[in-house]
Amino acid sequence: MKIFVAIIVGLVGGFILGVALSSFIGILGMTVLSQPLGIKYLPYITAFICAIVLPVLEYKKQVKQ
Protein backbone atom coordinates (compact mmCIF):
# COMPACT_ATOMS: atom_id res chain seq x y z
CA MET A 1 0.00 0.00 0.00
CA LYS A 2 2.86 2.37 0.79
CA ILE A 3 4.33 1.77 -2.66
CA PHE A 4 1.03 2.72 -4.32
CA VAL A 5 0.83 5.91 -2.27
CA ALA A 6 4.44 6.68 -3.21
CA ILE A 7 3.57 6.30 -6.91
CA ILE A 8 0.59 8.67 -6.61
CA VAL A 9 2.62 11.21 -4.62
CA GLY A 10 5.43 10.91 -7.18
CA LEU A 11 3.04 11.59 -10.06
CA VAL A 12 1.44 14.62 -8.44
CA GLY A 13 4.67 16.02 -7.01
CA GLY A 14 6.57 15.42 -10.23
CA PHE A 15 3.92 17.19 -12.25
CA ILE A 16 4.00 20.21 -9.94
CA LEU A 17 7.81 20.18 -10.04
CA GLY A 18 7.69 20.07 -13.84
CA VAL A 19 5.31 23.02 -14.07
CA ALA A 20 7.49 25.07 -11.73
CA LEU A 21 10.67 24.09 -13.57
CA SER A 22 9.10 24.87 -16.94
CA SER A 23 8.01 28.29 -15.72
CA PHE A 24 11.47 28.98 -14.32
CA ILE A 25 13.12 28.00 -17.62
CA GLY A 26 10.69 30.21 -19.54
CA ILE A 27 11.31 33.22 -17.29
CA LEU A 28 15.07 32.68 -17.40
CA GLY A 29 14.95 32.47 -21.19
CA MET A 30 12.96 35.66 -21.47
CA THR A 31 15.34 37.46 -19.11
CA VAL A 32 18.61 36.28 -20.61
CA LEU A 33 17.85 35.64 -24.29
CA SER A 34 14.70 37.75 -24.85
CA GLN A 35 12.87 34.73 -26.22
CA PRO A 36 10.78 32.11 -24.51
CA LEU A 37 12.47 28.78 -23.86
CA GLY A 38 10.97 25.55 -22.72
CA ILE A 39 10.94 21.79 -22.91
CA LYS A 40 7.81 20.32 -24.41
CA TYR A 41 5.94 17.98 -22.03
CA LEU A 42 8.36 18.69 -19.14
CA PRO A 43 5.68 18.27 -16.43
CA TYR A 44 4.75 14.84 -17.79
CA ILE A 45 8.37 13.76 -18.03
CA THR A 46 9.15 14.81 -14.46
CA ALA A 47 5.93 13.17 -13.21
CA PHE A 48 6.95 9.90 -14.87
CA ILE A 49 10.49 10.07 -13.46
CA CYS A 50 9.28 10.90 -9.95
CA ALA A 51 6.66 8.13 -10.12
CA ILE A 52 9.53 5.68 -10.66
CA VAL A 53 12.15 7.13 -8.32
CA LEU A 54 9.97 7.74 -5.27
CA PRO A 55 8.67 4.14 -4.91
CA VAL A 56 12.21 2.81 -5.38
CA LEU A 57 13.44 5.05 -2.57
CA GLU A 58 10.48 4.03 -0.40
CA TYR A 59 11.19 0.34 -1.06
CA LYS A 60 14.87 0.74 -0.13
CA LYS A 61 13.79 2.54 3.05
CA GLN A 62 11.46 -0.36 3.97
CA VAL A 63 14.10 -3.00 3.26
CA LYS A 64 16.63 -1.28 5.56
CA GLN A 65 14.20 -1.37 8.47
Instruction: Please say whether the beta carbons of 50 and 14 come within 8 A.
Output: yes
pLDDT at 62: 86
> Can you give the pTM of this predicted structure?
0.86
Cα separation of the two ends of the chain: 17
Q: What is the pLDDT along the chain (65 residues), one digit of tens a residue?
A: 888 999 999 999 999 999 999 999 999 999 999 998 888 999 999 999 999 999 999 999 888 87
Distance from C-alpha of 10 to C-alpha of 31, rounded to nearest angstrom: 31
